[in-house]
Structure 1
């Protein structure tokens, strides 16, 4: 069976159109999780002002930026960075687990009970969280060198959470299989990942330039928007992997 991008696009569009309310609901809940964690972080406002005033971006290098900070500022920046990473990984894991559980539930012909789906969701969350930690470290290392290695690694590792939840493989085996399959079908996987990245970039650029709107409201809309597009990517990749297993 030959898998085409058009076939995946049609399948994904059909699923999204039918379950758009559920996707939006999950995306909103994920955004609220991010907001709650952000409230709990309570960072030093001086550190936030440094970042928002683009002093970080305008500095010659990351090391130059850090070296010019006081010991207190370094500690606060480290604390803030750790909490932001936890917030990102938590919200991403929740979103991934929720969408994968939704697809699994709807794909099951016998429509397993909600309690079983909830148990499946709770069971995969710890593994997904650890997998997200590993893959994000690898991807960020790629972005540290140049943009292209980061994008390339994002494409190669995109299938790993789908494989982990679908096949119940180990973390390393899921990553290995993701790299192998994504390399073989790189045109299909890259189409979905690059679409997601482009939509994330466009949404961020457009919404962050709306200065007449409240910052908190923009943050909420932006996060919901990004979560919806990421959900579409998960559905696209999940459908691809299901078709691949049938070949």
Structure 2
């Protein structure tokens, strides 16, 4: 069976149009999780001002930026970075787990009871969190060297959460299978991932440059929009994987 991007886009559109309310609700909950964790974080305002004033961006490298900091600033940055990573991984894991559970429920002709779905969701979250953590580390290492390795690794690892959920593989096997399949179908997987990255980039640029509204409100709106488009990406990748298994 030959898989085309047009077919995947049509299938994704029909699924999203039918379940847009549920997807939007899940995206809102995931965004509120990010906001809640962000509110619990009490970063050193000096560190935030350094980042917001582009001192980090204007540095020749990450190491140059860190080397020019005091010991107190280094500890504060490490603490803040750790909490932000936890915030990102927690909201992403919840979003991924929820969308995958939704797809599982709608794809099952028997329509399993809600208790079964809750058990499935609860069992999936820990392994999904660890997988997201591993993927994030690998991708960030790629971005540290140059932007293209980071994008390339993002494409190769994109299918790993779906494979983990539906094949019941180990973490390493899920990553290995994702790399193998994505390498073979680089044009299809890459199109979806690159579209998602572009949307995320433009949404971030546009919304964060709005100074007329409260920053917390803008952060919430940004997260909701990003979560909706990330959900669409997951549905696109899931549909591809289902068609791939039939080939």
Q: TM-score, normalised by structure 1?
A: 0.98
Residues 112-156 of structure 1: per-residue CA shift (max 9 Å, x gap): 111101110000100001101111111111111111111011000
- Over residues 197-237 of structure 1, what are the superposed CA-to-partner deviations in whole Å (9 max), with x where a residue is unaligned? 01001111111111222211111111101000000000000
- Residue ranges of structure 2 left out of the alignment (5+ in a row): none
Does 2:89 align with 1:89? yes
1:110 aligns with 110
Equivalent residue number for residue 196 of structure 2: 196
Deviation at 1:60, TM superposition (A): 2.2
Match in the other structure for 2:220: 220
Structure 2 residue 68 is matched with structure 1 residue 68: yes
Pairwise CA RMSD of aligned residues? 0.8
Shift of 1:56: 1.0
Indicate yes or no: 2:223 matched with 1:236: no
Partner SS state of residue 194, structure 2: helix
Partners of 2:73 and 2:20 in 1: CA distance: 44
TM-superposed CA distance for 1:95, in Å, is 0.5
Aligned to 1:44: 44
Residue 133 in structure 1 maps to residue 133 in structure 2: yes
Provide the secondary structure at the position in 2 that maps to 1:112: coil
Quote the offset at 1:96 in angstroms.
Answer: 0.4
What secondary structure is seen at the aligned counterpart in 1 of 2:69? Answer: coil
Question: How far apart, CA to CA, are the structure 2 residues paired with 1:104 and 1:113?
Answer: 12
Number of residue equivalences: 247
Task: Please name the residue that 2:17 is paired with.
Answer: 17
CA distance in 2, matches of 1:171, 1:149: 21
Alignment partner, residue 161 of structure 1? 161
Q: Return the offset for 1:40.
A: 1.3
Q: What TM-score, normalized to structure 2?
A: 0.98
Q: Which shows bigger deviation, 233-242 or 60-69?
A: 60-69
Instruction: Please say if 1:208 is aligned against 2:208.
Output: yes
